[in-house]
Every structure is written in structure tokens, then in C-alpha cells.
Structure 1
Amino acid sequence: MIFNLNIQSTLEALLSQEDTDGDKKITIEDQGPKSFMLNSTNGESYEVKGTYFLSNLLQELVLALDTKEEIAEISIHNIEEAPTQRISRMIRENYWNGLTRTMDEKGIQELLSDTKNESLEAESLLRVYVPQKDVLALDYYMRLKHSMPLEVIQLPKKITPEYVKKLNNKPGILSLKLSEKDDEIKGEPFVVPGGRFNEMYGWDSYFESIGLLIDGRVDLALGMANNFQYEIEYYGKILNANRSYYLTRTQPPFYSSLIVEIFEKTKDKNWLQSHLQTAIKEYETVWMVKGKRLTENGLNRYLAEGIGKPPEAEEGHFHHEIAQYAKEANMSVEAYEKAYAKGKIENPGLDNYFVHDRSVRESGHDTSYRLEGICADLNVVELNAFLYKYETDFADIIQNEFDNSFIVGEKEYTSSYWLKKASERKEKVNSLLWNEAKGMYFDYNFKTQKQTNFVSATVFTPLWAKMASKEQTKKVITNALPLLKEKGGIASCTKESRGEISKERPQKQWDYPNGWAPHQMMIWRGLQQYGYEIELQELVYRWLYMITKNAVDYNGTIPEKYDVVSATHKVFAEYGNVGTEFEYITKEGFGWMNASYQLGLSLLDSKYISQLNELTTPETIFK
């Protein structure tokens, strides 16, 4: 049924009646009558009842405003669409487009209004940093600055931590891949997480690509991979994100997984060959350099280079750590922090703290008490699982697509070479990270030569990488799943491991009670690969129930993270919850949360999807 409505007047009447708290959304917290009569221009009427349907009506009216027509068609079908169908459709048809960016003229327009840009001489100006060897980009941005408020800065050949620290007072965006075709230069597209995260992030990009590939957006997944390749070639690593202050920091490695999954769709062997060469280069130069991210025991760690405090941290974020030193120096925390940042105060203890803090951010788990103050001393479970998958991915690709011989530079690689690497890593993981008595994997502190005993959702990553034996998998599921399973899915860690929270020891966002999309997605794949279908269905349902229920009750909200214990998006932790602040309609959702929804629906049995649409609680189904 289609209704022709006067969009503006209907919208005003709806908000006046139903948006009683004035936040330009219709949620369960509004106290309106929860019933609104639509009156079409031809005299027909239709009653819309209930928070979910009223919020859908609000969203459809706002979308209709984009037509610029006074009278527009509104579909009753869309208003009364089943929750799972609507959320999935909005992701597929709207959110991915809303999150897509490019580093060409069109994309620069959006970046100019980014909240991270500083005002310079009362004018909004964007700094663009360009690699020394990218002549095309340098010429393009230099020409662009004549018509746009840009400052274009060419990076030196060698980028040192000292140089990057100097850029902290002149932050800017790092160029990504540009291509010239038919005398037109266009930027390779990428998908941003959303909200204030308006740049291309490392591991976010992989998990977003899972959803993109499910939704048929191979073009965007390809763009992410091509930008990964650009970053490795020009910046030496896949960056935490393409901002100047991330130049010394990488992210969890998922490049091999991304190229494998894209190749499954495209079957473009020339593309695969090019990206495999780059992925091997990243493996060798970023991860396998002794004394850096490769430790003496043969396993890996995160080790972000850099000097001093991470500049992207919010004001006051480190006050709890700096306070003790400021008190000893008889200074205010603010004064001590400024003096330390300028190098007027030397503090080896604080220097060491920030080595670990930057490494936590490189791990993607920023921040967590699992890694606080010790991250650079840990062989973490997930990183070694990720690199094991690199090694087995390389072996499979070379065996199946390149007749067991692949040349990079002057070196020939075979499948057996990579399988030997993988076997050696697995043996070391089993020796140092596996705890037979507890039947779980734990991070290993190579300084103290002890396991950490911190129960984290990352305990499941060896299942995702197919590194665990059947016996180990059974023990992990038996022992870890009951500890981490909550109403809305898997928690980042146990409450016991997190410890008590206080003013002096604040909540960290990657700890209990919060849950995150990448953890869920890897756990689902792990369970699927080892044949644990019952557990898979339950965990997928719990996660999708939480997302669906919050979207139904809160005007379509899909945020960065959730409190999985209470199954709510109302998270109380550092940085807030990106994706919850919008008016009328979210046009982005949140990158990897969108992807987790699409992946979850693709895995969930149809009988559970029906119950999900009815918002049947997980406790009712899985007793």
C-alpha cells in the first residue's frame, strides 16, 4: 500500500505528538500515545501504532525529504517491515553508501568538515600528507589546493618516531590510492567505521568487507584491499588509520583473509598475484623483524613505535596515570602533562607506560586491563592466531593458484615453506600459550615467562584460524564459553579477569560487560569450521537479538559496541558509544556492527529468524 503524503506537515505533526523528549527520535522512552493517523492527499487514512512502526514512519518521512518534493509516496510495507528485513535492507541499501569515502576531490569535501580538523586562521583547512614517492598524488593535491582550503605536505623518505611526534601539532590525513583513467583522477573507495571515525581503519576494514561481500559490494571490498596495498607500499605497514599520528602504528593483520575472500568472488588471478606479493612483504617486514614485533621465543607481539602520549586520546584520558607523578613533583596534572609532552620533564616510567599504551592501540583492543601496562611484553593469543592464518593462507594460495611456486623479488616460496612456518608457530603456541589444566589459551608474558591467566574472548581466535586441534577446541568450548556467554553474546572478558572498577581504576571499553562485533564474527566462524552448530546458532541469535531489540526500541540505532550483559547500547565507558548520536534516522549504522548483522543473518537458521522478528528472548529459546 502506497500513501501520498505532505511530507513536511506529516513529519512535524508526528514529532509534535510522539517525540516527547525532543531528541528527534521516537523511542520507548517517549511518552506519546504511540498511535498516529496518516492522512493521504486523496482522503485515505491509516493508523500506525507502536514505537517500532512509528520510528520507521519517521525514518521513511525523512528519507522522502531527500526527494525535495512537497508530496511524496510512503510505503506502508516499509513502515511495517519485519525488523530483521528492515535492518538488513537499510544496511545494504543505505548504510554502506553513507560510510563510503574517497581521497579525491569529491571525498575531500566531506573531510573538510571532519571534527578532527583544526581551524587555521578562522578557516577550515585540511592537511594532506603525501608519501615521498607518490608523484601522482602530490601533483593532484597541489592542483586541488588552488580551489580548496588544503595544505599539502610531502613526507620525507624515512619516517621516524621523532618526525611523527613533530606532526602532533600539525595533524592531518594521509593520502590513499589514486588512479588515473580517461584523464580523470579518482580515489580508491573505502568504508569508514562511522561517526567521528571518518578515516580508513585497519582491522575494521576487514570485518566491514565481510558484510560488503555478503551484500554484493565487491567494489568496496576491493577498494579496501587496494588501499591496504597502497599503505604497505608507501607507509611500510597497514596503518591503524590514515591519520598522520598513526604513521608508527599498524593494526591486527587480516590482509591475507581479505584477499582470499575477494578472490573467491572475482577469480582475478593477476590481482591475487599482486596482492599476495604485498601480503608476504608485510608479513616479512612488519611482523617478522627480530627485536621488534617478533620476540626471541619465535612468537609475535604488538609493538607500536612512537614517542610520548598518543595525540588522539581525549583530554584527561591519562590523568589517572599521570596523577601520581604530578603529586610527587608538586604540580597539577595538567601542568605536568604539558611539561612532559614538551620534553621539559623526563620520566622513564611514563615513557614505558606509553610504549605499552600505543601497543594496546595497535592491537585494536584500545583499551583493556588485559593489556594495560604490559602489552608490549605479551605474546597475545589472537596475534599469533592471525599470523598462523597468514601462513596457511599463503600455503593454500600458492598450492592451489600458482602451481606451488611463487616468486617475490629473488625469493621463491612454496606451499611447504609456509606450512613449516605454520607448524612451528602452532608448536610454540601449544608450548607457551595453551594451558592444558584449564583447557584454554592465555597470553604469555615473555618477560616474566608466565601466562597471564586473563580470560578473554580472544581465547577463541585459534578456532577462527583453524590452529586448534579437535581436542583443544572441545576444551575451549567447554571451559571458556560458559564463562563468557551473556544475554547478548560473548563478553570481551570475564568480570573476574577485569577486576573491580573504581574512580582510580575506570572502566575500559574492551572489557566486561562490553561485547564487540569482531570477536563475535571470529567466534562464529570458528564454531562453524569445527562443526559446533548448536553453539553457533545460539551465539548468533543472542547477538542479533540484542542488535534487533535495541534498533526496534531506539529508532534504528546500531552503535559501535554493546553491553552484552544487559544487552543494551547504553554503554558506560571511555569514549562513549559512536553511532548513538543522530537525529531522525541513522544513515550509517556502524561499520563492523553492520557487517556482523549481515553475517549473522546469513548463518542463522530460518526458524530462528522468525523468532527474532518476534523478539523472542534468547532465554526462552536456549534453556
Structure 2
Amino acid sequence: MKGSTYLYLLLLLSNSVSSKTIELDAQKSLNRLLKEFDRDGDKKITVQDKVPTYRSFELSPQLKVSGVYHLSNLLQELKLQTEDGAVPDKVETERIFENPVDRISRLIKDFYWEGLTRRIDKEHLKKVMPDSKIHQPKMNILYVPESDEIAKNYYQQDKELILKFVPKNYDLDFLKGLRNEHGLLSLKLQRVGERIEGVPYVVPGGRFNEMYGWDSYFHVLGLLQDEKVELAKALVDNFVYEITHYGKILNANRSYYLSRSQPPFLTSMILAVYPKLPKTSESKTWLKESVLAAIREYSEVWMKGGHITEMGLNRYYGEAPQIPPEVEPGHFKDVLAPYAKKYKLTQSEFQRALDTGKINEPGLKEYFIHDQAVRESGHDTTYRWTREGKDECSNYVTVDLNSLLYKTELDLSRLLDSEFNGRLENFKSDYFLKQAASRKVLIKKYLWEEGIGFSDYNWKKKERSHYQSATNLYPLWAGLVNKEEIDFMLRHVLPQLEVAGGVAATSLESIKNVGGKLQERQWDYPYGWAPHQIIIWQGLKQNGLHEVADRLIYKWLYMITKNAMDYNGTIPEKYDVVKRSHKVFAEYGNVGTKFSYISREGFGWMNASYQLGLELLSKEKRKELRELVPPKN
């Protein structure tokens, strides 16, 4: 019997199993289950264990469990029982035979968001301080803004902390001084009754144990879908705190991220959260403070300094031209090798000399300015901005950033009109509307080309990249396109990116055009990412393209569902969307795949994409998904 047919019959069978409780010795049953079915010893039951379809596990004389999906569910439920310590142990049969779509969605809502939630306060420091991305002896350094008197007084009482302070207007010299003293950046504290506690936030998961910039927009969408309004609001509150005390929404709240921001989604977050709040004066005050912070971010981060170009459009730009400490070992091996050879040093010796400022190489300075820009873009890394073998990210005004800023300008104009009679303090809605209109003209002039569509523009070389990226579809979401442009994008752009599992980060043809022998980069073909899918779905829906959106959503959700069924509930960071596989080994690999027994978190924006996708999917396609009908194309 074919595997997919067998799974489908099992799912039909599962719908007929009545709910009942079976009492057993959970630990003995767990040990026996692993011995019989976990053939590779990874404490999971997956298709890699090559379990014969005829093999079953006798849960009771009346009930036998078979098939990888149901056996892995049983493994997870038994593990939970051994941790619970209940006597007698028991297993609910409906959990073992739960429809996979229902199970994934339930776990995300009831468990994974909680597993990804953090607070920074004295009670929770042991959980939030660890950082597996870097290697340094001191992991108890906490940075607090000098401008936050509450935090300074609160944390100074903790003698186990190494407490350091971030100046109000920190500069490049301050950032350079952080090279060997990395630590966590504090976030907002709040008073609850007689105690002070940290305002909660959501981390992506795995090696990413901090609050990230653009991830948080997608987390908000997932949280709101699961009716976790207060937690979604808290993410906005922490971003307002970052703008107030650190001057920007940070890449994430670690000291080595102070040099860069991330794609701007704050107004989109505010507009998602505010309608869900009670209509009270407190909510209106919250809106005012949040909008003022968004205006400050727009004005002082994106429209000043290195982010704004002479042509009037924006680029990504990092402030600290140095090696980012959070990368995996050996990431810059090929870049540093010729310089180490020049100075007759080992690579580690040369890197230390570079970090301490003993060696200054202008070529490397330029390289790391571009590298910082790549990381600020969130797309770390890709060949999207590679020309003649060199990354030139900060030389490009990009489709995604300028689409986001166009939407920010429209959002601010509309918010000021609808909620503040067209004016908030010294800011008028007309100003932002004019900014949006001006930006739209420039986007169409420089980033759109007939017969090609949208692509990034090298403002120094005065040429379009023609690199086909999923980000070239952002204008659909931002409201930048007319009917003719939409038709062109559907006929000529989307087909280059659409594959078996949804939308690839870039096209295969664009990778080929880079030329040379390339190491795989994770934000390129054949990999696919949740934020791209969500933005494209929303853009299609906003433009009435429901059938196209349904097709893409279904491909993505089918891939996640089938992967979770085959691999013990795995919800990873990203996918090979061509093979519909979580087996991604580019750069640092794939977060969310390394666990024993049961996944506790999934991955932040993947969780969000599943919950939002189910909501956006048509009723008919949801039924097909629950029956695990493969996509037609």
C-alpha cells in the first residue's frame, strides 16, 4: 500500500476512535516503545526508523497503535505523563489518534507560545541570559539603559549580575568597546501590585533566545490568531521601550545587536493589536505612545544618517564595521584567509588582532559594513546583493525596505486622521501622505521595470539587480501596484518563485546568474521562509486573489503537516520548499529540529504561519488538508 494512502486510511480510522482513558505504567510503556520502534536511537519515532506498516504497539488488549504518526504521538503523550508524575499514569486515546492539523494547531496555541515566552527580571534571568550563539566565559552581563532609572535601581540589587550601562546616544566607539563583553539588553519592567516584573516577549526559539525585530510582527499575527492579545500588545510595548532607550528597534536585545535594526513593521503591529483592545482611555493612551514611538523610529532611524540615500530611497545599513560575534564558527573563513596570510598569522590570531583594533584593513571595513546591512535586512545571508563575487548590500535601495516604509507612511497618515484628528503633537497626517506619494513615484522610477517587474537598485552603480526574490512581491502587500502590474507579477514573477512547498526565497535562475561555484545560502533557492509566505498571502488576499492565495497557503501548510507527521511533530525554522523537507544544512542548519521525545516550542514565525494560514485558507481547502490530500501542482 502506498505511504500516503496508508496515512489517509489511518486518519479516517482515527476519526472513528472514541475518546477513552487507558491507565498504564507510562515509563515502562515508553521504554518498550522506544526499544521496539526507535531504531536510530534519537528518542523520536520518524520515517527514518523505517517502521514496517504492519508493526503495531499494543497499548491494551483492545487497542493497538501503528503507523509512524500515531506511534510518535503515543511517544509524546507517554513522555508528558512521565514528567507529570500522576499516579496512576494514563493516556487519552484521542490524543494518539488526533487529526494532525488539529494537533499541530492545538499544540501551538496551548503549549508552543508559552514555551517561547520570556521575561527579563530577577526571577527569570537564568532562563533569558544564556546565549548559545557566542562563546565567552562571562554569561551574566546585563546591559541597562542609563535613561531607565527604574531598571538601574532594580538590577543594582542583584549581586550576581555584572551590570553595565548603555548611554542615551551611544556611538561607534561605544559599540567597538563591547567586542569582548557581550551581554543581554534589558527590556521593559512593569509594576504588578507590590512587585516589579518584566513585560513578556516571544523569542523565535532554539539558538535565538532573545526578542527579534521583524520576527515579532509575525509572532503578533500568530498570537492574535490564538487570542493572546495581551502578549501581542506586550511585544509592541517592548519595542516602544527599545526606541525610547536604545534609539531603535533592535535586530535583537543583545549588546552585539546595538549596531543595527531590522525591517520596520511597527505600524503594522500597532494596527493589528489596537482593534483587539478594549475601547478605553487607557487603550487610546497606549495607541498615542505607540504611534509617537513609530514616528520617532521612522524619522530618526530610517530617514536620517546612513539609511537614506541621495536619491531619496532607503537602504539597509549597519553602523559597526566589524565581525558579528553571533555567526557560526568558520563563517568568514574564506574572507579572512588572504588577510591572515598577508600578516603571516593564523586566522584566529588575525581575527583577534582585527577585533582589538591592532590591525585595520579598509577592504574588510567595507566588507563588514555590507555584512551588517545584510543582517539588518533579516535576509542573512543571500546572493541577492552579490556582484562580481562581492556582497554590496548597503549599495542597494531594496524593494522590501521601501515597500515597508511606504506602508509605514500610509499607516501613520491614516492613524493620525482616524484617531487624532489629523495631528499628533507636531506631526500632521498630510506630511506622511506626501512622503508616501513621493516614495511611490521613486519606487516606480527606480525599482520597477517593464518586462521584469520589481527588483533592487544599486544606487552607486545606477543599475537594477534583476535578482528575482520573494521580496519583489512585497509591493502587493504594501498597496503599491495597479491591476496591470499585479497581472504581470502573477504571470511572470510568481511562476519563477512558486515550487512544491510554496514560495522559494529566490529563483533558481537568479542563483545560476550569480556564476561561479557557490556555497549554499539559506535565504536563497531552494529554501522557503514563513515571513515571505505570510506577506505574499496577505498581499494576494488584499487584492482579491483568493484562489492564488489558497493554492500557496495549501502548499505551505501541507508541507508543514506532512513533515510533522513524518518527523515526530517537528516544526522547524525553514524548509527546502523544492523537496518539501526540513533537512536544511546551509550555514548553521535548521533550528527547531534538535529535540528528544517532543517539541516544546516549534519555531516562532512558523507557528504563526500555521495558525494564520489555517484562518486564511478556504473551508474547502481546510477539509482537504485535514484529509491530507497532496497539492495538485
TM-score range, shorter chain: over 0.9
User: Is 1:281 the counterpart of 2:292 in the alignment?
Assistant: no
Tell me by how many angstroms 1:406 deviates.
1.9
Tell me by how many angstroms 1:161 deviates.
1.8
SS of the residue corresponding to residue 48 of structure 2 reads: coil
Task: State the partner residue of 2:405.
Answer: 387
User: Is 1:239 the counterpart of 2:250 in the alignment?
Assistant: yes
Count of aligned residue pairs for this structure pair? 605
User: Is 1:77 the counterpart of 2:88 in the alignment?
Assistant: no
User: Is 1:2 the counterpart of 2:24 in the alignment?
Assistant: no
* Separation in structure 1 between the aligned mates of residue 567 and residue 455 of structure 2, nearest angstrom: 38
Could you tell me whether the CA contact under 8 Å between 1:178 and 1:186 is conserved in 2? yes
Could you tell me whether the CA contact under 8 Å between 2:318 and 2:369 is conserved in 1? yes
Code of the residue aligned with 2:396 in structure 1: it is: L
Code of the residue aligned with 2:112 in structure 1: it is: Y
One of 104, 117, 126 as aligned partner of 1:100: 117
1:360-509 to structure 2, matched below 5 A, reads 360-372=374-386, 373-407=391-425, 411-414=426-429, 416-438=430-452, 440-499=453-512, 505-509=518-522
Task: State the partner residue of 1:60.
Answer: 77
User: Is 1:115 the counterpart of 2:132 in the alignment?
Assistant: yes
User: Is 1:25 the counterpart of 2:28 in the alignment?
Assistant: no
Tell me by how many angstroms 1:67 deviates.
1.8
* Separation in structure 2 between the aligned mates of residue 537 and residue 545 of structure 1, nearest angstrom: 12
One of 183, 192, 197 as aligned partner of 2:208: 197
TM-score w.r.t. structure 2 length? 0.93
One of 310, 315, 322 as aligned partner of 1:296: 310
Query: What's the CA shift string for 1:285-313, capped at 9, x where partnerless?
Result: 00001x41111111100111013211212
SS of the residue corresponding to residue 168 of structure 1 reads: coil
User: Is 1:188 the counterpart of 2:199 in the alignment?
Assistant: yes
One of 209, 220, 226 as aligned partner of 1:209: 220
Task: State the partner residue of 2:548.
Answer: 535
Tell me by how many angstroms 1:70 deviates.
4.0
Could you tell me whether the CA contact under 8 Å between 1:117 and 1:126 is conserved in 2? no
Task: State the partner residue of 2:7.
Answer: none
Task: State the partner residue of 2:172.
Answer: 161
1:596-615 to structure 2, matched below 5 A, reads 596-615=609-628
One of 518, 535, 539 as aligned partner of 2:531: 518
Code of the residue aligned with 2:206 in structure 1: it is: G
Could you tell me whether the CA contact under 8 Å between 1:95 and 1:588 is conserved in 2? yes
* Separation in structure 1 between the aligned mates of residue 551 and residue 99 of structure 2, nearest angstrom: 21
Tell me by how many angstroms 1:119 deviates.
6.2
1:552-591 to structure 2, matched below 5 A, reads 552-591=565-604
* Separation in structure 1 between the aligned mates of residue 585 and residue 614 of structure 2, nearest angstrom: 28
Task: State the partner residue of 1:132.
Answer: 146
Tell me by how many angstroms 1:505 deviates.
3.1
* Separation in structure 2 between the aligned mates of residue 218 and residue 355 of structure 1, nearest angstrom: 38
Could you tell me whether the CA contact under 8 Å between 2:147 and 2:167 is conserved in 1? no
One of 336, 354, 358 as aligned partner of 1:344: 358
Task: State the partner residue of 1:177.
Answer: 188
SS of the residue corresponding to residue 167 of structure 1 reads: coil
Code of the residue aligned with 1:257 in structure 2: it is: S
Change (3 A) 1:38 1:270: farther
Query: What's the CA shift string for 1:398-427, capped at 9, x where partnerless?
Result: 1112222222xxx1312x322211111000
Tell me by how many angstroms 1:325 deviates.
2.9
User: Is 1:248 the counterpart of 2:259 in the alignment?
Assistant: yes
My pick for the range that moved more, 422-431 or 395-404, is 395-404
Code of the residue aligned with 1:586 in structure 2: it is: S
User: Is 1:91 the counterpart of 2:108 in the alignment?
Assistant: yes
Change (3 A) 1:244 1:480: same
* Separation in structure 2 between the aligned mates of residue 534 and residue 225 of structure 1, nearest angstrom: 33
Change (3 A) 1:32 1:322: same
Could you tell me whether the CA contact under 8 Å between 1:165 and 1:307 is conserved in 2? no
Tell me by how many angstroms 1:334 deviates.
3.3
User: Is 1:15 the counterpart of 2:29 in the alignment?
Assistant: no
SS of the residue corresponding to residue 65 of structure 2 reads: strand
Change (3 A) 1:116 1:70: farther
Tell me by how many angstroms 1:39 deviates.
4.1
Could you tell me whether the CA contact under 8 Å between 2:51 and 2:67 is conserved in 1? no
* Separation in structure 2 between the aligned mates of residue 64 and residue 119 of structure 1, nearest angstrom: 38
Tell me by how many angstroms 1:337 deviates.
2.7
SS of the residue corresponding to residue 73 of structure 1 reads: strand
Q: Root-mean-square deviation (CA), in Å?
A: 1.7
* Separation in structure 2 between the aligned mates of residue 402 and residue 239 of structure 1, nearest angstrom: 28
Code of the residue aligned with 2:37 in structure 1: it is: E
Could you tell me whether the CA contact under 8 Å between 1:161 and 1:307 is conserved in 2? no
Could you tell me whether the CA contact under 8 Å between 1:111 and 1:126 is conserved in 2? no
Tell me by how many angstroms 1:116 deviates.
4.8
Could you tell me whether the CA contact under 8 Å between 1:18 and 1:33 is conserved in 2? no
Could you tell me whether the CA contact under 8 Å between 1:201 and 1:241 is conserved in 2? yes
Could you tell me whether the CA contact under 8 Å between 1:161 and 1:305 is conserved in 2? yes
* Separation in structure 1 between the aligned mates of residue 488 and residue 24 of structure 2, nearest angstrom: 59
* Separation in structure 2 between the aligned mates of residue 125 and residue 337 of structure 1, nearest angstrom: 22
Could you tell me whether the CA contact under 8 Å between 1:253 and 1:387 is conserved in 2? yes
Query: What's the CA shift string for 1:550-608, capped at 9, x where partnerless?
Result: 10000000010000011100012001100000000001000000000001100112222
* Separation in structure 1 between the aligned mates of residue 142 and residue 297 of structure 2, nearest angstrom: 24
SS of the residue corresponding to residue 416 of structure 2 reads: helix
One of 306, 327, 331 as aligned partner of 1:313: 327
* Separation in structure 2 between the aligned mates of residue 425 and residue 112 of structure 1, nearest angstrom: 41
Could you tell me whether the CA contact under 8 Å between 2:373 and 2:394 is conserved in 1? yes
Change (3 A) 1:113 1:288: closer
* Separation in structure 2 between the aligned mates of residue 348 and residue 551 of structure 1, nearest angstrom: 48
Code of the residue aligned with 2:50 in structure 1: it is: Q
* Separation in structure 2 between the aligned mates of residue 538 and residue 315 of structure 1, nearest angstrom: 39
* Separation in structure 1 between the aligned mates of residue 363 and residue 129 of structure 2, nearest angstrom: 38
Tell me by how many angstroms 1:257 deviates.
0.2
Query: What's the CA shift string for 1:247-305, capped at 9, x where partnerless?
Result: 1110000000000110111142221111011100110000001x411111111001110
User: Is 1:37 the counterpart of 2:50 in the alignment?
Assistant: no
Tell me by how many angstroms 1:332 deviates.
3.6
Query: What's the CA shift string for 1:188-211, capped at 9, x where partnerless?
Result: 100000001000000001111100
Code of the residue aligned with 1:109 in structure 2: it is: K
Tell me by how many angstroms 1:502 deviates.
10
Q: Which runs of 5+ in 2 are unaligned?
A: 1-19
Query: What's the CA shift string for 1:13-72, capped at 9, x where partnerless?
Result: 1111111100000000113456443445xxx53111100001011111122223212422
SS of the residue corresponding to residue 105 of structure 1 reads: coil
Tell me by how many angstroms 1:371 deviates.
2.8
Could you tell me whether the CA contact under 8 Å between 1:8 and 1:70 is conserved in 2? no
